[in-house]
Amino acid sequence: DGGITQSPKYLFRKEGQNVTLSCEQNLNHDAMYWYRQDPGQGLRLIYYSQIVNDFQKGDIAEGYSVSREKKESFPLTVTSAQKNPTAFYLCASMRRAPGDTQYFGPGTRLTVL
């Protein structure tokens, strides 16, 4: 996981509530990513940011929002508009340099009751 922290590890929320997942990295990476993982499936991209104050929608952005005010932080808000928010959420970061790869945090498991 080295250098990428996600908190909390487990999160429970009631249906209809917004919830914000934290992702912090001290690797001085420019790009940061949020993925969603459902049981038995691969990772699906929610949002990504290549530089501070800029971000782009991924493949499943509906019902989610992000901000990138600082290089080291990329919080994800799961809004009440997300129809099925219960999942494992993974944050990743990467240098903006050819030949580098994405490194992942430990994940946050969100359960909406």
Please tell me the distance from the alpha carbon of residue 11 to that of residue 6, in angstroms, as a whole number. 11
For other proteins, which stretch binds (CB under 8 A), given 11-19, 60-68, 76-84, 98-106?
A: 98-106
For the record, the structure tokens of 106 come out as 């430990």
Indicate which single residue of 90, 93, 110, 112 sits in contact with other proteins (rule: CB under 8 A): 90
Please tell me the distance from the alpha carbon of residue 84 to that of residue 110, in angstroms, as a whole number. 11
What Å distances lie between residue 49 and 66, 111, 112, CA to CA?
9, 25, 26
Residues in 16-75 that interact with other proteins by CB under 8 A:
31, 40-45, 48, 50, 58
List residues binding other proteins (CB under 8 A): 1, 4, 6, 31, 40-45, 48, 50, 58, 90, 92, 94, 96, 98-107, 109
